[in-house]
Amino acid sequence: MTKMMALRDAYGQALAELGKTNKDIVVLEADLGGATKSVLFGKEFPERYFNVGIAEGNMVAMSAGFASTRLIPYVNTFASFLTTRAADPVNCLIAYSNYNVKLAGAYAGLSDSYDGASHHAISDLAFVRSLPNMNVICVADPIETREATKFIATLDAPVYLRLSRTAVPYIYDEDYKFEFGKGVTMREGSDVAIIATGYMVYKALQAAEKLAKEGIYARVVNIHTLKPIDKDLLIKCANETGLIVTVEEHNVFGGLGSAVLEAIAKDAPVPVDIIGVDDKFAESGDYEDLLEKYGLGVNNIVTRTKKAMSLKK
């Protein structure tokens, strides 16, 4: 049986562990501590835990104040609210001031499935990637979540950490080391490079297994850091395979696919097929069913990759 864990649980546990060793960390949440699991930190360190209520913009503004005193705030709410309702202070207070604030966007992508379009976060990466000074991380499994949560406390810069709600399979062993700004080659292959982020890394690995049975050998790369992105690895993938397929739980505009194109366009221009939500709002429903409907299921990744093979020069 595949070992699984919700990324929000892994995040909450890592945050509580981090609080024991780093006394400068403070945690803010917008009345969603149980959902984001930031409450695990609050139970251990109530004097460093602040529930501001349903006031996301005020919460981010408060975090800027904490950061100005050299504390390290971790800000917690749903990704959809953090990058829309709190967009102004994220932009003009955190990014502009280059404050050391960690923005944890929970329930990202379509993972808050039954709450529908108002809660889906499929444009968040486009927003945060475009902000000067902002670093962007999207984790793929519980171990990577734990390691990234701890690492960003050492990075003196603003960070957007993208977290899924759902339980996802482990794809890493306990000895995995998170390397900021460095993609991870999960599977070798010479016919095509499938570049994925977040939960879609697992889907890409499953798709690569199916493709191999049909004689198509796909390299699978986890781009957990979207900004700064691992340009050297992406250029290497482009040069060695001649074809890239990107997979992301995000609008096809402004996310991973756009970042990959930006990285290779000048030095290694090859065909790129971007698999994501095709510029539309998604409806409410079962999470896996939504992923299937909006083109993010394993079989669709297989079909799209096979079709993209015809684009190779």
Q: Among all residues, which ones are annotated catalytic?
A: 56
- For the beta sheet containing 25-29, the strands, ordered from the edge strand earlier in sequence to the opposite edge, are 49-51, 25-29, 72-78, 102-106, 159-162, 135-138, 225-227
Contact 220, 204 (CB under 8 A): yes
Contact 231, 216 (CB under 8 A): no
Nearest to 32 by CA among 106, 108, 126: 106
Give the Cα-Cα-Cα angle 79, 84, 89 (nearest 5 degrees): 100
Q: If 0-12 CB within 10 Å is exposed, 13-18 middle and 19+ buried, where does residue 310 land?
A: exposed
Q: If 0-12 CB within 10 Å is exposed, 13-18 middle and 19+ buried, where does residue 175 land?
A: exposed
| Six-digit token string for 30 | 């917008």
- Alpha-carbon distance of 310 to 293, in angstroms, equals 24
Contacts of 236 (CB under 8 A, 6+ apart): none
Contacts of 6 (CB under 8 A, 6+ apart): 142, 164, 165, 166, 167, 168
Contacts of 211 (CB under 8 A, 6+ apart): 217, 218, 302, 305, 306
- Alpha-carbon distance of 168 to 176, in angstroms, equals 17
